[in-house]
């Protein structure tokens, strides 16, 4: 298989695009395509300040690399969850995120949950859920809150995440199985800041397959953490990904068309309904100021208040490491 652009040996064949490319042209194509998606979905402009959520994995570090090469004004945020799982998951992923930032002279905000709130994410989960579940729901709640907080306090215009097409298709599949129209309405490449205290969110990699992201990271020489979070095992999203991968094997391009036709259907109003318009029901949490639909304090503040000795006042600049 030869590169369509220069005729040398291709390293990547994208069957869904009927496109094979050599290393240099592949790396160039990924950067150009990302730029195209940023503009197509009106994600952000070169004048805006961008905060990239990085986990130390291939997707988020590749995203940061692409935005840096495209000369966007983009800093990173790493949230240390305090997850070990026998592989030092949090400390290893933090090291790699920091190394990536240092090598390129980029600014990384590090938020350490244990330092801030006195307990790690698994410990907070033990306390609030009596250790019966995996910490994923508490973890998601805390990550969303901290990313929003730093984006708001530090004046970023937009928060970007490294979700790829496989992630988005799996979430979409799950939401369709339960016809969760509220979630379906809010899923997409960009989510506007529809309430004061919320940052706009964008997913510039949402049209790239996971294998394309892995190829980008490897060909670019980015060091990333190979291990998944130990709590990811058995997650529904992994099961949905397997099903979608089986379909993709038989019908190349099916994941992409599943996602793109969903976006078209959503934009034509298929899921719109007044009861789904949650934004109208939101008010500012009296403690942290972030939007919530819960009466009184938001779920995050109520969760954190259960940790003995937790402060209940707004956080200051010194709570965010540079």
The number of beta carbons lying within 10 Å of the beta carbon of residue 47 is 8
Separation between Cα atoms, residue 38 and residue 278, nearest integer Å = 26
**Closer to Zn ion by Cβ: residue 215 or 298:** 298
Which DSSP string do the residues of 70-88 spell out, in sequence order? TT-EEEEEEEE----TTTT
Which one of residues 198, 285, 304, 320 is an interface residue with Zn ion (CB under 5 A)?
285
Closest CB to ligand SF4 among residues 34, 128: 128
DSSP one-letter string for 131-195: T-S-THHHHHHHHHHHHHHHHHHTT-SEEE----HHHHHHHHHHHHHTT-HHHHHH-SSEE---S
Question: Per CB under 6 A, does 139 bind ligand SF4?
Answer: yes
Note whether 135 binds ligand SF4 by CB under 6 A.
yes
Q: Which is nearer to ligand SF4, 140 or 192 (CB)?
A: 140
**Contact between 124 and ligand SF4 (CB under 6 A)?**
no
Size of the site for Zn ion (CB under 5 A): 5
- Cα separation, 311 vs 298, whole angstroms: 15
Residue 229's binding partner among Zn ion, ligand SF4, none (Cβ under 5 to 8 angstroms by kind) is: ligand SF4
Binding-site member from 31, 87, 110, 136 for ligand SF4 (CB under 6 A): 136
Nearest to 288 by CA among 275, 304, 277, 274: 304
- Name the segment binding ligand SF4 (CB under 6 A); options: 22-30, 136-144, 146-154, 200-208: 136-144
In terms of residues, how long is the chain?
A: 322
The count of residues interacting with ligand SF4 (CB under 6 A) is: 7
Instruction: Give the footprint of ligand SF4 on residues 194-253 (CB under 6 A).
Output: 229, 231-232
Nearer to ligand SF4, 76 or 135 (CB): 135
Cα-based distances in Å from 137 to 15, 75, 86, 114: 36, 26, 21, 17
Tell the smallest beta-carbon distance from residue 276 to ligand SF4 (Å).
Answer: 25
Q: Which of 125, 161, 287, 303 binds Zn ion (CB under 5 A)?
A: 287
Which one among 8, 104, 131, 140 touches ligand SF4, defined by CB under 6 A?
Answer: 140
Q: Which residue has the tokens 């937790």?
A: 310
Q: Give exposure, 70-99, as e/b (b: 16+ Cβ within 10 Å).
A: eebebbbbbbbbbbeeebebbeebbebbbe
Residue 170 in contact with ligand SF4, rule: CB under 6 A: no
We find the least distance from the C-beta atom of residue 153 to ligand SF4, in angstroms, to be: 23
Name the phi and psi angles at 300, rounded to 5.
Answer: -60, -50
Nearest-approach distance from CB 143 to ligand SF4, in angstroms: 7
What residue ranges bind ligand SF4 (CB under 6 A)?
A: 135-136, 139-140, 229, 231-232
What residue ranges bind Zn ion (CB under 5 A)?
A: 285, 287-288, 298, 301
């Amino acid at each position: 298989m030869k590169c369509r652009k220069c005729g040398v040996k291709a390293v990547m064949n994208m069957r869904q695009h009927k496109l094979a490319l050599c290393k240099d042209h592949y790396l160039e194509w990924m950067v150009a395509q990302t730029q195209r998606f940023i503009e197509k979905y009106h994600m952000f402009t070169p004048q805006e300040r961008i905060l990239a959520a990085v986990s130390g994995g291939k997707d988020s570090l590749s995203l940061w690399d692409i935005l840096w090469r495209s000369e966007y004004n983009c800093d990173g945020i790493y949230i240390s969850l305090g997850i070990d799982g026998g592989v030092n998951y949090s400390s290893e992923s933090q090291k790699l995120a920091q190394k990536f930032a240092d090598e390129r002279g980029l600014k990384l905000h590090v938020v350490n949950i244990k330092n801030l709130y006195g307990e790690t994410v698994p410990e907070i989960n033990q306390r609030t859920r009596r250790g019966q579940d995996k910490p994923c729901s508490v973890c998601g709640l805390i990550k969303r809150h901290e990313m929003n907080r730093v984006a708001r306090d530090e004046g970023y215009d937009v928060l970007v995440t490294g979700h790829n097409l496989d992630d988005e298709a799996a979430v979409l599949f799950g939401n369709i199985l339960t016809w969760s129209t509220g979630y379906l309405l809010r899923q997409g490449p960009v989510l506007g800041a529809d309430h004061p205290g919320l940052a706009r969110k964008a997913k510039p990699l949402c049209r790239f397959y996971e294998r394309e992201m892995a190829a980008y990271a490897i060909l670019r020489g980015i060091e990333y953490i190979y291990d998944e979070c130990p709590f990811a095992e058995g997650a529904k999203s992994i099961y949905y990904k397997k099903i979608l991968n089986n379909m993709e094997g038989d019908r190349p391009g099916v994941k992409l068309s599943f996602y793109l036709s969903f976006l078209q259907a959503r934009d034509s109003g298929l899921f719109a309904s007044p009861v789904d318009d949650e934004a109208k029901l939101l008010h500012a949490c009296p403690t942290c100021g972030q939007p919530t639909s819960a009466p009184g304090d938001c779920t995050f503040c109520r969760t954190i208040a259960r940790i003995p000795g937790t402060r209940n006042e707004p956080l200051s600049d010194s709570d965010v490491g540079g």
